[in-house]
């Protein structure tokens, strides 16, 4: 069966420090991968999505970047965190090419920038 792992679950980082959040998927190949952010009391905002290794689409200009070094690995990074980067980050995957493809979410990372 397919599973998605996202870590860490919580993270407190000082302003100006780097960030690396990792997401891996098991039990499938060539998935679509997504990074979302949910600010407090707000809906989910798509940050990046990837349809293949090295293929990253950015949805909003920001202080973050994403990389997909392997088929089932998606990394969210920042060189210097801002206070506004605080939020709940979710990784998700779906099967590419299926109209009824389900999207599965990780359990999220609560990031607090102090």
Partner 1 sequence: KNQVEQSPQSLIILEGKNCTLQCNYTVSPFSNLRWYKQDTGRGPVSLTIMTFSENTKSNGRYTATLDADTKQSSLHITASQLSDSASYICVVSAQNQGGKLIFGQGTELSVKP
Q: Which residues bind partner 1 (CB under 8 A)?
A: 32, 34, 36, 42-46, 49, 51, 57, 88, 90, 92, 94, 96-97, 99-108, 110
d(Cα 89, Cα 101) in Å, to the nearest integer?
Answer: 22
**Minimum distance of partner 1 from residue 50's CB (angstroms):** 9
Nearest distance, CB of residue 14 and partner 1, angstroms: 23
As a whole number of angstroms, the distance between CA 76 and CA 61 comes to 14
In the DSSP assignment, the letter for residue 29 is S
In angstroms, give the least distance from the CB of 40 to partner 1: 11
Backbone angles phi, psi at 73, to 5 degrees: -130, 130
């Amino acid at each position: 069966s397919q599973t998605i792992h996202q870590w860490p679950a919580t993270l407190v980082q000082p302003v100006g420090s780097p960030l690396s959040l990792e997401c891996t998927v098991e039990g499938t190949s060539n998935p679509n991968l997504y990074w979302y952010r949910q600010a407090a009391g707000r809906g989910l905002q798509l940050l990046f999505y990837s349809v293949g290794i090295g293929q990253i689409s950015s949805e909003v200009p920001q202080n973050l970047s994403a990389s997909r070094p392997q088929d089932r690995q998606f990394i969210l990074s920042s060189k210097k965190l801002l206070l506004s980067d605080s939020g709940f980050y979710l990784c998700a995957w779906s099967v590419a090419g299926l109209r009824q493809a389900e999207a599965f979410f990780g359990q999220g990372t609560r990031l607090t920038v102090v």
